């Protein structure tokens, strides 16, 4: 998902560079600049942080990216079973795993219940501390974050696990004879 958004953002930026001087611009209902091409079609371009008008808030131009997921640190997976649990989480969908500064995180994509249709917070005065401490200075508006590792699917994670973990030891059957006293056979009447 993040990669798709990155592609869209990059494309918007390049379109803006190509078209910015060729046509007029007008503000659309969301406050996001819109370029009109001869009345035939219009392209909505993303507001660049550096172009933000004085006194305006970047969040007004955002689709509330930071309100559509939550993430928390998890123990570094070391064993096959650790990865197997992570794989199980991810098989449910809308779950990602990333690593930043050597810390592993589970990321759950889910919109906050208080996100309004206009992408603003419905409980702004009473929002949780973590929302209060978040800043546009280092947020995901530009989608330019690069993780040390990022697994979007369970398959990616499992492929990584199989490559990193030592091969499983094949099950060995004993060739020693088994004492009769330890064998329990069914009694046939
Ligand atoms: S803090 Fe950043 S990501 Fe969150 S809504 Fe504002 S601009 Fe968007
Ligand atoms: S409480 Fe408000 S700021 Fe926090 S995640 Fe929900 S909508 Fe976003």
- Quick one: which H or E segment has residue 8? helix 2-19
Looking from the CA of residue 120, the nearest atom of ligand 2 is 7
- Quick one: which H or E segment has residue 15? helix 2-19
Q: Chunked in runs of 10, what are the mean pLDDT values of the chain (189 residues)? A: 36 32 35 55 79 92 96 97 98 97 97 96 96 93 92 98 89 68 64
Q: Where are the domains of the chain?
A: 1-46, 64-164
Q: Is 69 in the pocket of ligand 1 (CB under 6 A)?
A: no
Please name which of 21, 116, 110, 26 lies closest in space to residue 71, comparing C-alpha atoms: 110
Look at ligand 1, atom 4, and give the residue with the nearest C-alpha.
66
**pLDDT value, residue 34:** 54
Looking from the CA of residue 64, the nearest atom of ligand 1 is 5
Per the document, the length of the chain is 189
Q: Is 139 in the pocket of ligand 1 (CB under 6 A)?
A: yes
Q: Is 121 in the pocket of ligand 1 (CB under 6 A)?
A: no
Q: Is 94 left (phi over 0), alpha (psi -120 to 50) or beta?
A: left
**pLDDT value, residue 40:** 63
**pLDDT value, residue 183:** 60
Which two tokens mark 184? 């329990």
Looking from the CA of residue 115, the nearest atom of ligand 2 is 7
**pLDDT value, residue 8:** 33
**pLDDT value, residue 168:** 82
Q: Is 139 in the pocket of ligand 2 (CB under 6 A)?
A: no
**pTM (global) more than 0.85:** no
**pLDDT value, residue 186:** 67
**pLDDT value, residue 189:** 60
Beta strands in 65-133 (DSSP E): 69-74, 95-100, 103-109
**pLDDT value, residue 39:** 58
Q: Is 43 in the pocket of ligand 1 (CB under 6 A)?
A: no
Please name which of 59, 46, 57, 52 lies closest in space to residue 17, comparing C-alpha atoms: 46
């Amino acid at each position: 998902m993040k990669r798709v958004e990155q592609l869209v953002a990059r494309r918007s930026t390049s379109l803006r560079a190509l078209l910015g001087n060729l046509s007029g611009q007008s503000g659309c209902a969301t406050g996001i600049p819109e370029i009109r091409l001869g009345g035939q079609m219009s392209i909505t371009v993303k507001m660049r942080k550096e172009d933000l008008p004085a006194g305006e808030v970047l969040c007004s131009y955002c689709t509330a990216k930071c309100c559509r997921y939550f993430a928390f640190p998890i123990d570094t997976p070391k064993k096959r079973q650790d990865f197997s649990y992570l794989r199980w989480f991810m098989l449910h969908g809308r779950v990602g795993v990333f690593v930043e500064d050597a810390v592993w995180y589970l990321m759950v994509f889910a919109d906050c219940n208080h996100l309004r249709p206009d992408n603003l917070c419905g409980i702004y005065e009473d929002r949780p501390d973590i929302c209060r401490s978040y800043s546009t200075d280092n947020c995901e508006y530009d989608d330019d974050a690069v993780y040390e590792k990022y697994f979007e699917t369970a398959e990616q994670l499992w492929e990584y696990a199989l490559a990193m973990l030592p091969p499983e030891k094949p099950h060995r059957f004993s060739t020693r004879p088994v004492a009769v006293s330890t064998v329990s056979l069914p009694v046939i009447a």
